[in-house]
Each structure stands twice: as C-alpha cells, then as structure tokens.
Amino acid sequence: MASFSATTKPFFSSSITSSSSKSTSKSSLLSFLNTAVNSKPILKLSLSHSHNSQSRRPFFVNNVLKTADASQSPVSLESSSSSGAKPTILVSEKLGEAGLQVLRDFGRVECAYGLSPEELCSKIASCDALIVRSGTKVTRQVFEAGKGRLKVVGRAGVGIDNVDLQAATEFGCLVVNAPTANTIAAAEHGIALLTAMARNVAQSDASMKAGQWQRNQYVGVSMVGKTLAIMGFGKVGSEVARRAKGLGMNVIAHDPYAPADRARAIGVELVSFDEAITTADFISLHMPLTPTTNKIFNDNSFAKMKKGVRIINVARGGVIDEDALVRALDSGIVAQAALDVFTEEPPSRDSKLVQHKNVTATPHLGASTIEAQEGVAIEIAEAVLGALKGELSATAVNAPMVAAEVLSELAPYVVLAEKLGRLAVQLVSGGSGIKSVKVVYRSARDPDDLDTRLLRAMITKGIIEPISNSYVNLVNADFTAKQKGLRISEERMVVDSSPEFPVDSIQVQICNVDSKFASATSENGEINIEGKVKYGVPHLTCVGSFGVDVSLEGNLILCRQQDQPGMIGRVGNILGHHNVNVSFMSVGRTSRRKQAIMAIGVDEEPSKDTLQKIGSVPAVDEFVFLKL
Ligand SMILES: NC(=O)c1ccc[n+]([C@@H]2O[C@H](COP(=O)([O-])OP(=O)(O)OC[C@H]3O[C@@H](n4cnc5c(N)ncnc54)[C@H](O)[C@@H]3O)[C@@H](O)[C@H]2O)c1
Ligand SMILES: O=C(O)[C@H](O)COP(=O)(O)O
C-alpha cells in the first residue's frame, strides 16, 4: 500500500504496511493513572484500535471506556496488583453499608475505625485505596508510608481540608471526594441550627430536663424580615438561601467566585464581604477552609458586625478565630452562635466556646442523615472504584477534570502523545540533559476548544519515565516535570483541516540537546518529530525534516540512506535473514536520489549483530533502534 500524507513541510512519502500492523495498537490510557514502574502493582486498561473504523473509537458510558463493537472486546480491563490480587481498600471511618457493598464487589475492604496516626501509616503500606471522612488526617506521612501502592484517597464528603493535597500530588495519588450527596443534609442542618438558635430550643430543652419551666428566660427572635448573609454561595450556601427565603428572610450572599445570575435566579443579591457582615442580622458560613478563609472571622470582622448578630457555622471550625468569637459573645457583639464544626474536633471538654451559654453546638452532624450517608457512601465508592480502574474521575480534587466526551475524543491522541514523548527522548544523545520541550498542536479547532492538559501530561510521562525511575501520571505530571527542571511549552496552531477531529498533528521538539540520529534534528537544531492519528491509530509522520508514515507500535528502526533503488529489499533481507518480522515500512525523502529516511516497524528486537549489518549497508548513513 502506498500513501501520501500532507504536512506543512515539503516532502514525499510512501509507506508499506504489512497485514500484522492492522490488528492492534495497544496502549494504555488507564495505566497512565495507575502504572507504577519497577513492577509496582499496576492497574491497566489496554485500548485496541481498529485500523479501518472510526466507529470503533473508544468512548465512555458512565465514565467507563468502551468501544462500539463490544463483541470484539477491544478494551481489556485489568484491576489487580502484580500478584493478581484484588485491590485493598481501607475504610477508616464509618461508611454507609450500600457503599461498602459496592466496594466489596470489587476489592478487599478493610474497615478499621479510630486508628492512631501511627496505625494508619503502618496499615496504608498494603492498601491501594483509603476512604475517609472528616475525622482522619491524611498527612504527608500517610502518603510517604503508602508510596508505590496507595493510588487513591476517597473523601466521603465535601471538605478535603483534612487531606494534604500537595503531598498527594507529589506521590501521584489521586484524591476524589463526594461533593453532592450531603448538600441537602448540610443545608437542612444549617436551617435547623438557625431556627433552634433563634428560639433557644437547645437551651430551653436542657433547662426543662433539669426540671425547670423558664418561659421568660427563653424569649427568642423572629426570622421573618431579617437579613441573612450567606458567606460562600456554593452548593450548601445556595440551598440554605432557598430555605431561608421560605422563612421570609431577606437573603444576601458573599462569594467572590459565584456567578451573579445564579444568585439572582433565587432572589439573592451578591455583595462584598464587608457589606455582608455589616448589614446582616444572621450570618451563615458555607465556604471551604483554605489559607484565605482560615480565621477570616476574627476580632477585626466581628468588630464590623451589627451588635447582636447571630452566627451559624456548618462549614469548618477553622474559618472562625474561636477565641475572638468567645470575646465577641462575651461583649454582646455576637448575641448567639450555632456551631456544628470546630477547629479541633472533638473540642476540649472545657472549651469556652462550647460551654458558652449563648452557643448551640452539635458534633459535626451536618452530613449525618441516613439518606446523606447512604448517598455519600455510594458516591465515594463509585469514585474510588473508577479511579482504581483508571478512569478519570469527575470528582478528582488534585487532577484536571476532563469531561467524559472530551476524554473519549482524545483517547487515541493520548496514546500518540505518550509515544511521541517516548520516541523523542530516545533520540537524545545520552538520553539526558533535557531541559526544554516544545509541543505544537495543529488543529482546525479554536485553541480555546482544545484541552491539552492530558496530552501534555502524557508527553511528559513519555519523556520522563524512560530516563528516570519516576512514576508519572496525570496527577503528578506537571509537578514531576518541574521537579526535574523540565520546561514544557505548548503552542497551538490553527490549520485548515477537519474540525471533526480535535487534533490534526502533534509535534514534539526537544531543544538544546544533541541527537543520536542526526536526521531527527530540524534546521533549527532541535530534535523534531511529529505524529497524527489516522483511523484511530497513532502514526509517526515526520522525523527531523523528513516525512514518513508509520503506525506507532512495536519497535522502530529509523535509517537514513542515499535514496536509490534496492534499499528496502536490502535492509528487509537482513531483517528476514535474522528472523525479525517487519510490520510496516515507510520511506520519506527530501528529493529524488538525495537523502531518504526509512522507518521500519519490527515485531522483535533485532540483535546487535543484525543492527550492525544494517549499519554496514554502504548507502546507509546512520540508523537508530527505538522502542515504542
Ligand atoms: N457540617 C457538615 O457536616 C458539612 C457538610 C457538607 C459540607 N460542609 C462544608 O460546607 C462548606 C461548603 O460546602 P459546599 O458543598 O457548599 O461547597 P461548594 O464548593 O459547593 O461551595 C463553597 C463556596 O465557597 C466559596 N468560597 C470560596 N472561598 C470563599 C471566600 N473566601 N469567601 C466566600 N466564599 C468563598 C466558593 O466559591 C464556593 O461557591 C465546605 O466547607 C464543606 O466542607 C460541612
Ligand atoms: O465536608 C463534609 O462533607 C462534611 O463536613 C461532612 O463530614 P463528615 O463526613 O465527617 O460527616
């Protein structure tokens, strides 16, 4: 079969493809998240692409990668450690039974509640996944102890302030959460605290149980017509707002990131922090605990509040300076506080805050409804299983979230990207000293419509893994590149081709290094290779200034020779004589009878002797053997 491919460079190319190359192009999108080097436990998904059918491109159903032709079963999913055992999932806090059942169907589940930090570290070394709620501190030490095996931490809830995300990322461990299932429960608890506080429910109940009947002591305040400031207008905050409007309250909100139209849609005005806290009669906190929100309610902010303000906190204790709140309660600036969360949980028995007569306290019960706990358990179990299977999670906290349809579309390009990275690094003389890589994506689509994070990460993986013992995945690709002093710059070029496909070609250039195959170096001095996806299969289409067209699978011999008759036969004969099967061959040349490059795909790794014989063919100027 001869074919001509078009690139931006002037060249002629012909290609010979043997039937064996039509069968498979195996690679692993999933192993990207999970593969560990040095025979560490792996979870692997292999994709096989048909050579001749776009319709069998992989796609996602419920986040699971499939292909159109299920009978051919071209997706094989392995989920096991190297010993073939089921993954071990440690559950360190109480999780709903329905979620546990989902986990048990997939892996070995160990429920161990109330572990000390030391016990957790010692157990984690033999676990593939850890599921926690807010009570387990997942520290750097935990990731260090779980290194090489721990692949995913699942937070059965929203707040991930108890997980060291930086450490997770450094160790390539994915963190997923269950962000939606407890929203209503938390909002309902916020409203419960608001109303209970305003009407002194908890205090009067305690007084009655102590045998008293103090009707005058527990006169409350009404909520109707009062202004409630929602601080953090996200999922919980907006549900609290809806419910408070039902109580006849005037609701305002502060959230620097919330869209005004979402607030307007439920009749809430977004205002500045100061306007919110200075005008509100009630303030309800719903922001995450971050370095910015840590102790954001402090002496300074309490001083600005209306005297007699009432505060509800079902977010995180750390957003309030608790000592300052005690002072504000004592001075009467804050008339009452209703708190579900505390800086230290559980708080000390003699906590001035908990003991304060104007404080209503609950022990972090926001998410604790039967319904929410079942929902959260299922949500996190599915997220953790998905991650263990290598699917990109929709609730990943420390990895780019890529929509399923984008992922499906990008799948063959992801394979191409890793192979180009792997190939480019093997062309570097000595394989090291790489500091700067430039990637050029040519696409007919608007640059804003092309999400290249996954492709960049795969190129990084392809470049780094063959030359180091680093384990690179989507979670830690950028971090690892930075750590190794590798700068990857990206450029997108709009070309006149079909916008049906996300990418026309990917070009990888390694700058300021010598190449062991001089012909791979472009006129500008950098190693330059380019690839395309054709019918779902990654192809190498350019080496240096030479156009070629070979499918990227198996091993590759690149050979530069004088363009003259008989070269394909001569080299093919040597390989055949040494029992090395040629899967495909392509010749690219600058012009007739000048220099040409032969790209030969081989199933077996040729011996040194075989390669030497190729090198000693008089017209061959240089050659290189590359493993894909
Ligand atoms: N008490 C409980 O059991 C319980 C249950 C669920 C959630 N929570 C907590 O409630 C909080 C909100 O949860 P969610 O599901 O609504 O999360 P979310 O991410 O949907 O909403 C948080 C909102 O806070 C906003 N925000 C971030 N920084 C802010 C700042 N400096 N000022 C104002 N707003 C800011 C964000 O833009 C976002 O809209 C989290 O802290 C979560 O951990 C507690
Ligand atoms: O952030 C959350 O989801 C809540 O604080 C719930 O935490 P919990 O799972 O410990 O109840």
Position 392 scores a pLDDT of 67
User: For ligand 1, what atom is nearest to the CA of residue 367?
Assistant: 3
- Quote the pLDDT of residue 156: 98
What pLDDT sits at residue 50? 28
Task: Provide the b/e sequence for 587-599 (b: ≥16 CB within 10 Å).
Answer: bbbbeeeebbbbb
Give the per-residue pLDDT at 396.
Answer: 87
Q: Tell me which of 6 and 480 has the higher pLDDT.
A: 480
- Contact between 26 and 7 under an 8 Å Cβ cutoff? The reply is no
Strand-strand pairing, 282-285 and 227-231: parallel
User: How far does the centroid of ligand 2 lie from the alpha carbon of residue 539, in Å?
Assistant: 48
- Specify the pairing of strand 129-132 against strand 75-79: unpaired
Point out the ligand 1 atom lying closest to the alpha carbon of residue 340.
1
Topology given in CATH for the domain delimited by 181-212+220-361: Rossmann fold (3.40.50)
Average pLDDT estimate for 249-259? 95
Region 593-618 average pLDDT: 88
Beta bridge partners of 180: none
User: Which of 49, 133, 310, 364 is an active site residue?
Assistant: 364
CATH domain 545-627 topology: Alpha-Beta Plaits (3.30.70)
CA of residue 268 to ligand 1 center, whole Å:
17
Q: Which ligand is nearest to the CA of 95?
A: 2
Mean model confidence pLDDT for the chain: 85
Closest CA to 130 of 149, 105, 116: 149
Whether 590 has a pLDDT exceeding 60, the answer reads yes
Would you state the CATH architecture of domain 403-540? 2-Layer Sandwich (3.30)
User: What gap in Å lies between CA 394 and CA 13, rounded to an integer?
Assistant: 42
Ligand nearest to the CA of 373: 2
Q: Is 97 a catalytic residue?
A: no
The 10s digit of each residue's pLDDT in 488-546 is 999 999 999 888 899 999 999 999 999 999 999 998 899 999 999 999 999 999 999 89
Q: Do domains 88-177+374-389 and 181-212+220-361 have the same CATH topology?
A: yes
Query: What residue ranges do the domains of the chain occupy?
Result: 88-177+374-389, 181-212+220-361, 403-540, 545-627
Residue 1 pLDDT > 70, yes or no?
no
Annotated active-site residue in 316, 445, 492, 539: 316
Task: Enumerate the β-bridge partners of residue 361.
Answer: 339
Residue 48: pLDDT over 70: no
Measured distance CA(561)–CA(534) in Å, rounded:
27
pLDDT digits (tens, 9 = 90+) for 137-167: 999 999 999 987 999 999 999 999 999 999 9
49 is catalytic: no
Cα–Cα distance between 522 and 237 in angstroms, integer? 56
Quote the tokens at residue 604: 């077996």
Q: Tell me the whole-structure pTM to 2 decimals.
A: 0.75
pLDDT at position 129 over 90:
yes
CATH architecture of 88-177+374-389: 3-Layer(aba) Sandwich (3.40)
- CA 287 / ligand 1 centre spacing (Å): 3
pLDDT for 412-459, tens place per residue?
A: 999 999 999 999 999 999 767 899 999 999 999 988 888 898 899 999
In terms of average pLDDT, the best of 86-95, 592-601, 607-616 is: 86-95
Give the torsion sign (CA, 553, 554, 560, 562). Answer: negative
Atom of ligand 2 nearest to the CA of 365: 11
Pair 194, 244: CB distance under 8 Å: yes
Question: Could you tell me the distance, in angstroms and rounded to a whole number, from the CA of residue 234 to the centre of ligand 1?
Answer: 6
Does ligand 1 come within 6 angstroms of the Cβ of 156?
no
